[in-house]
């Protein structure tokens, strides 16, 4: 604990990944008396979207600047039972919207490999804290690549589990809103699986709960389908595809079959279904905030809510039918894994809100530049981001599996990790 807090004191001012840091003496005392468990005494900072009892939780919003929850979220409670000591929070964009971690409460989180660049998001604080060696494990959440984008840009690992493996909590709909999930981030597959095994503790109050996660021995050689830029549908900054294709050669050298695939589904249909369901879900969750504190809602959130409120039942049905068609298509594909870049461009200027164009192609929304993560998110497939190397900043490669094949994807990541050395490239900060 002392070494962790010393490290945070030295490097966090330049990165701004850890926020709401608690008192040092209190944390040292808690570390000395932490309950037994696999994380006994381990300092952990929680993403500022998850409730933490007794610790300010802002969701990146000025409307919740002084909000201190009375209870932990179910995932945080699992970490505490495993012996973790919660030292504070990791920074996130306002309500997790946008893959760049800035907000009016804590400011901008910067990339440890180049502090002029973004750390990604919405788990940008988690990714940057891992890369800068301020924490050993980090929780994240992933709706639209919020684990995968910051993992790629910070040269660490991020895993979006199959929907239901890490059970959420609280009342509300359990069927329609399945776009987001919690998951682990780490610097090794071993650590990733350790955290996942705790996060995925079975929750009898959540009928979709399918945990706990259990590792499985490696199986047969896998067939990996490389989708690249989805037949030109996804604008890509030069160099992104080259790095990912070099990374894929590692899998081929390991004996797996890597095959370029033609687009298996219309990209625009996926995008239309995704943006409809996303805006509708966000509106359902946050309309009350727009009504009660409109001056505290950033433009992108206002746009999502107002857009979501315009949809009819027929609109939602059409979007969910597309989602279902895509789910059926993935289930029948003759490959075991789909591969895509973790982002469509390298980490951009930390002072931007979002990139307005990629390689000359204009982005028509604040999140269009992250379209590449939608195929996994739309149907709740397991997706692992592994480091793919360095261009102007780090880049990641998504490995997407069939629903429930989490262990197979993590085994594939373990093989790749053993054959590469990207993780040992520590930022100079």
For 60-116, the pLDDT digits (tens) are: 999 999 999 999 999 999 999 999 999 999 999 999 999 999 999 999 999 999 999
Count up the domains in the chain and report the number: 1
Alpha-carbon Rg for the chain in angstroms: 20
Please, which pLDDT band fits residue 219 given cuts at 50, 70 and 90? confident
The pLDDT confidence band at residue 169, using thresholds 50, 70 and 90, is confident
Condensed to tens digits (0 to 9), the pLDDT of residues 140-154 reads: 999 999 999 999 999
47 catalytic, yes or no? yes
Distance between CA atoms of residues 111 and 16, nearest Å: 9
Beta bridge partners, 142, equal 181
Q: What is the pLDDT of residue 350?
A: 98
Instruction: Please confirm, yes or no, whether 342 is among the known catalytic residues.
Output: no
Helix 299-308 × helix 267-292 angle, to 10°: 110
Domain contains 429: no
Look at residue 172 in the predicted model and tell me its pLDDT.
81
Strands 394-401 and 383-390: antiparallel
Helix, strand or coil, per DSSP, at residue 64? helix
Share the mean pLDDT of the chain. Answer: 97
- Please give the pLDDT value at position 168: 84
When pLDDT is averaged across residues 53-66 and rounded to a whole number, the result is 98
Task: Answer whether residue 222 is part of any domain.
Answer: yes
Q: What percent of the chain has pLDDT over 70?
A: 100
| Mean pLDDT of all residues in 285-313 | 97
Q: What is the pLDDT of residue 105?
A: 98
Name the CA dihedral angle for 153, 283, 199, 215, rounded to a multiple of 10 degrees.
Answer: -70
> Looking at 122, 162, 342, 377, which residue is catalytic?
122
Whether the per-residue pLDDT at 170 is higher than 80: the answer is no
In a domain, 302, yes or no: yes
Catalytic residue among 73, 123, 141, 146: 146
In the prediction, which pLDDT does 111 show? 98
Q: State the pLDDT at residue 127.
A: 98
| CATH code of residue 378 | 3.90.1300.10
User: What is the Cα–Cα distance from 297 to 2, expressed in whole angstroms?
Assistant: 38
**Do 304 and 192 touch, CB atoms closer than 8 A?**
no
Active site residue 99: no
35-62 burial, b at 16+ Cβ within 10 Å, e below that, comes to eeeebebbbbbbbbbbbbeebbbbbbbb
* Per-residue pLDDT at 186 exceeds 80: yes
Whole domain around residue 176: which residue ranges?
A: 2-424
Render pLDDT for 337-379 as a digit per residue (tens, 0 to 9).
999 999 999 999 999 999 999 999 999 999 999 999 999 999 9
- How many other CB atoms sit within 10 Å of the CB of residue 23? 9
């Amino acid at each position: 604990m002392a070494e962790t807090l010393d490290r945070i004191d030295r490097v966090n001012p330049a990165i701004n990944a850890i926020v709401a840091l608690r008192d040092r003496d209190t944390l040292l005392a808690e570390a000395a008396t932490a309950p037994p468990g696999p994380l006994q005494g381990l300092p952990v900072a929680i993403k500022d979207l998850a409730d933490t009892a007794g610790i300010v939780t802002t969701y990146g919003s000025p409307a919740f600047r002084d909000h201190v929850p009375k209870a932990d979220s179910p995932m945080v409670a699992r970490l505490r039972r495993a012996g973790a000591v919660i030292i504070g929070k990791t920074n996130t964009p306002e309500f997790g919207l946008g893959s760049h971690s800035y907000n009016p409460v804590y400011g901008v989180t910067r990339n440890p490999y180049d502090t002029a660049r973004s750390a990604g998001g919405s788990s940008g604080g988690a990714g940057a804290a891992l890369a800068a060696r301020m924490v050993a494990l980090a929780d994240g959440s992933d709706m639209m690549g919020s684990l995968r984008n910051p993992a790629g840009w910070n040269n660490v690992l991020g895993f979006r589990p199959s929907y239901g493996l890490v059970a959420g909590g609280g009342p509300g709909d359990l069927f329609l809103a399945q776009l987001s999930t919690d998951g682990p981030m780490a610097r090794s597959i071993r650590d990733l699986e350790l955290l996942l095994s705790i996060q995925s503790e079975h929750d009898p109050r959540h009928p979709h709960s399918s945990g706990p996660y259990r590792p499985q021995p490696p199986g047969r050689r896998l067939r990996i389908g490389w989708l690249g830029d989805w037949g030109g549908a996804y604008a890509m900054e030069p160099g992104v595809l080259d790095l990912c294709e070099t990374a894929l050669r590692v899998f081929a050298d390991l004996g797996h079959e890597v095959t370029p695939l033609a687009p298996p589904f219309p990209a625009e249909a996926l995008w239309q279904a995704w943006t409809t369901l996303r805006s509708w879900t966000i509106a359902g969750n946050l309309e009350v905030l727009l009504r009660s504190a409109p001056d505290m809602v950033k433009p992108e959130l206002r746009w999502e809510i107002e857009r979501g409120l315009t949809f009819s039942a027929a609109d939602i049905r059409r979007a969910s039918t597309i989602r279902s068609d895509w789910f059926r298509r993935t289930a029948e594909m003759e490959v075991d894994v789909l591969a895509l870049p973790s982002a469509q461009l390298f980490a951009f200027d930390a002072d931007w809100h979002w990139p307005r164009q990629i390689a000359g192609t204009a982005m028509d929304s604040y999140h269009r530049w992250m379209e590449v993560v939608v195929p996994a998110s739309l149907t709740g497939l397991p997706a692992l981001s592994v480091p793919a190397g360095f261009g102007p900043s780090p880049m990641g490669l998504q490995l997407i599996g069939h629903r429930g094949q989490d262990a197979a994807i993590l085994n594939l990541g373990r093989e790749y990790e053993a054959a590469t050395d990207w993780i040992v490239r520590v930022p100079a900060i």
